[in-house]
Amino acid sequence: MLFAAFTLLQLNSRAALLPKDSLIAVPLGGNGWVSKDSHAQIDSTGLSNWSADTDVVSVYVRLESAGSLNIALKLQVPDGSSKISITVGQTILTKTVSGNQVAVINFGKVSVKTPGYIQVKLQGEKRSGKVYAQVSDLLLSGPAISNGTSYVKDNHGNYFYWGRRGPSVHLNYSLPNEANNTAEWFYNEVAVPVGNDVLGSYFMADGFTGGYFGMQVNSPTERHILFSIWSPFNTDDPNSIPDSLKIKLVKKGPGVHAGEFGSEGSGGQSYMNYPWVAGKSYAFLVHAQADAASKTTVFTAYFKPADQSSWQLIASFKRPSSGFYLKGLYSFLENFDPDMGNIQRKVFFGNGWIKDTSGKWSPLTKALFTGDATANINYRKDYDGGVKGDLFYLRNCGLFNDFAPLKTNLTRQQSGKTNPDIDFSKLP
């Protein structure tokens, strides 16, 4: 038996000399989540500290075929013995395992009725040792994997982290007269449906070459309106940026925190604590003052609830090595908390406009739907973007099945709306 042979060999790596498609090793470090308030942990080595019978560990894999699926776990039991159950759909497979050496334990077969994501749930039922087991991989074989699979395959490039965060998705807006663009103002409206304001979400409304502006769910009690400008100096360490290439704060609004950011590029960052709520629309406005002579641009961000008239200043930053107006306009939806990457979220964008230096307003009705590297390499396929009436929408995470093809061109209705009524002379 194939699995018996693996057990005898006591595998110490996920890679094995097997015919292609005969077996896949799904690392829990990139594809697993533990239930809320669980003491069990998922890290780059897999599942550890699994001690409570209330802990539910979920591992997700997308299968492109229906059919029989054999399930095994690569694990070790540090001491004692443990009774463990695996649930897929309505089928429950149970084994009592022991042994402090790494081994592959075959649990048996389940029937997969339709292609798509499956959730494999692990739960401990009884143990004599301190923990149920330490589990590194879920091993799958059989006809259900014969047509292909999607999962985070390894930690190269820190993909256990990025894969558990889930795919980021974007709307890349088409601008009129792109070659001779002089867009000075970018207006957009954002609404998060009730129940989709998931912890770790960034609903980014006004993105452009050099910066981005949107709203976040930072904790159960804190939400931010965030505006950031990247330095033209390419680094993840803001302290390494030469003074001549640093982002300079020009001004900021009341209650706004301003400073620097790093890790994903570096630059100037500002945010305001603001209790925005799901189910309500908010307006975002960015201004670009380009100075071709000094090759600088001052970017300024304003925010308000869409049904109110008064704008709040977030911040204004001067960016060197620029001298251009607003270009590369986009919106995105991102999850920045890996522990929340198995929960779906959605956002609507609409009534987007630009105003150029001649005073002409143009609606943003066309966009290209794209995804990040996690989506493009098929590690995750729970991504979606489309149109509903006069709104664009983005959706990600949650391991759903009805994904939208990347690089899809989208067009929303304008519904006869006029350009935003903004008294620019009264902006703070």
- Judge contact between 313 and 251, C-beta under 8 A: yes
pLDDT bracket for residue 199 (50, 70, 90): very high
Q: Would you say residue 14 has pLDDT above 90?
A: no
In whole numbers, what is the pLDDT of the chain averaged over residues? 92
CA separation, residue 19 to residues 22, 23, 137, 143, 146 (Å): 6, 8, 19, 14, 12
Model pTM score:
0.91
Q: Please tell me the least confidently modeled range out of 150-154, 230-234, 394-398.
A: 230-234
Per-residue pLDDT reduced to its tens digit, 318-370: 999 999 999 999 999 999 999 999 999 999 999 999 999 999 999 999 999 99
Q: Would you say residue 214 has pLDDT above 70?
A: yes
pLDDT bracket for residue 6 (50, 70, 90): very low
Query: How is residue 305 written in tokens?
Result: 């609830």
Q: Please tell me the least confidently modeled range out of 83-87, 257-261, 286-290, 380-384.
A: 257-261
Q: Would you say residue 263 has pLDDT above 80?
A: no
Specify the pLDDT at position 47. Answer: 98
Q: Would you say residue 95 has pLDDT above 70?
A: yes
What does the pLDDT average to over 237-250?
87
- Judge contact between 97 and 132, C-beta under 8 A: no
CATH superfamily of 2-155: Galactose-binding domain-like (2.60.120.260)
As to burial, measured by CB atoms within 10 angstroms (0-12 exposed, 13-18 middle, 19+ buried), residue 200 is buried
- Judge contact between 152 and 382, C-beta under 8 A: no
Distance, in Å, from the CA atom of 85 to the CA atom of 63, rounded to the nearest integer, reads 21
Q: What is the 3-state secondary structure (H, E, C) of 364-402?
A: CCEEEEEECHHHHCCCCCCEEEEEECCEEEEEECCCCCC
Query: Domain map of the chain by residue range?
Result: 2-155, 166-426
